[in-house]
Structure 1
């Protein structure tokens, strides 16, 4: 069972990620001793950086700029224990059109690594073929998409199904991060790609 202090975690995002859904997991996981890399596609608004969408601001608007640790093209699932997918409407909608991002998420699942998605990020799990027959949650407005992807959608703060962790919104972040830590501690979850 990997200890969180030895864990290497990839957070995949692009411009328009929900600010708290990236910053809080990165901060909490690093505080627990994990090594966390923020990874993004090369094409972003600012080279080597991604810009948040702050949905909690009044009115919602562009938020913090976050430095990217590594480019999407430079990473592989074999080097990590888990992938975390922040939500927001813009971020996962952009990423689900990036074949390299979808292939990376599939590699994490195929290799039994933890896959964690919050808010609108389960759209990426639908695109990656990881929802069929699984128990999952998401932001309420995309529950039909998740159900249409074959998942058993439930309204709970955090849901796990064989190492795939999903949560609904920023208010669930503490439970989301705690479950990521727990699932990493359980070790390899086996191949979770659809047959």
Structure 2
């Protein structure tokens, strides 16, 4: 499999990490992007670089939200989980950034419960999107065209259903930036069986 050094790109992705996130949703995407050579930074939205997931797994982030400019990132990714999703939604810097990005047509990805943040901000009206089954109604109530597909790509918007679809979300982000050959290389490297 090509190493990150052979597929290195200029793209970089901010993964926004909140207390109570679903860790596999974040880390599976990070792993897939890393294998494709796409830089990913775990950005803590709290005042600590260490964040505890909903399953009590402790993640160490590269930076605090207050130390970075999210506009410098090509894509911002919102993992799901409870209470991770409400914690993300409560962060005004984050909601302002995703609102600006969606209005400017810049890439945003969200998985599981996190697409509901975008819906409640009024950003999914008329967009094709998916989420965890428990949040599909929220998307529909806010004007999204919902789908039960594992991953839905609508322009620069990437949404996915949950932990079991996180690898597929990562692969679609790789496809967006690097194309089908890079996706095939990552699939071989992770022994993707679908």
Which structure 2 segments of 5+ residues have no match?
1-6, 180-194
TM-score (norm. length: structure 2): 0.82
Aligned residue in 1 for 2:174: 181
Once the two structures are TM-superposed, the CA of residue 89 in structure 1 deviates from its matched residue by 2.0
Change (3 A) 1:19 1:126: same
Q: 2:93 aligns with which of 95, 100, 105?
A: 100
| Cα-Cα RMSD | 1.8
Which structure 1 segments of 5+ residues have no match?
55-61, 187-195
Once the two structures are TM-superposed, the CA of residue 12 in structure 1 deviates from its matched residue by 0.7
Q: 1:65 aligns with which of 45, 58, 62?
A: 58
Aligned residue in 1 for 2:123: 130
Aligned residue in 2 for 1:52: 53
Change (3 A) 1:113 1:184: farther
Question: Normalized per residue, which structure has more strand?
Answer: 1
- In 1, Cα distance between equivalents of 2:79 and 2:21: 6
Aligned residue in 2 for 1:24: 28
Aligned residue in 2 for 1:15: 19
Q: Deviations 1:116-140 (Å, cap 9, x if unpaired)? A: 1110011221233221011111000
- In 2, Cα distance between equivalents of 1:112 and 1:185: 19
Once the two structures are TM-superposed, the CA of residue 185 in structure 1 deviates from its matched residue by 4.5
- In 2, Cα distance between equivalents of 1:86 and 1:129: 19
- In 2, Cα distance between equivalents of 1:111 and 1:184: 18
Once the two structures are TM-superposed, the CA of residue 142 in structure 1 deviates from its matched residue by 0.7
Change (3 A) 1:181 1:4: farther
**SS across alignment from 2:97:** helix
**1:114–1:184 CA contact under 8 A, matched in 2:** no
Question: Normalized per residue, which structure has more helix?
Answer: 2
Aligned residue in 1 for 2:38: 34
Aligned residue in 1 for 2:134: 141
Worse-matched range after superposition: 135-144 or 112-121 = 112-121
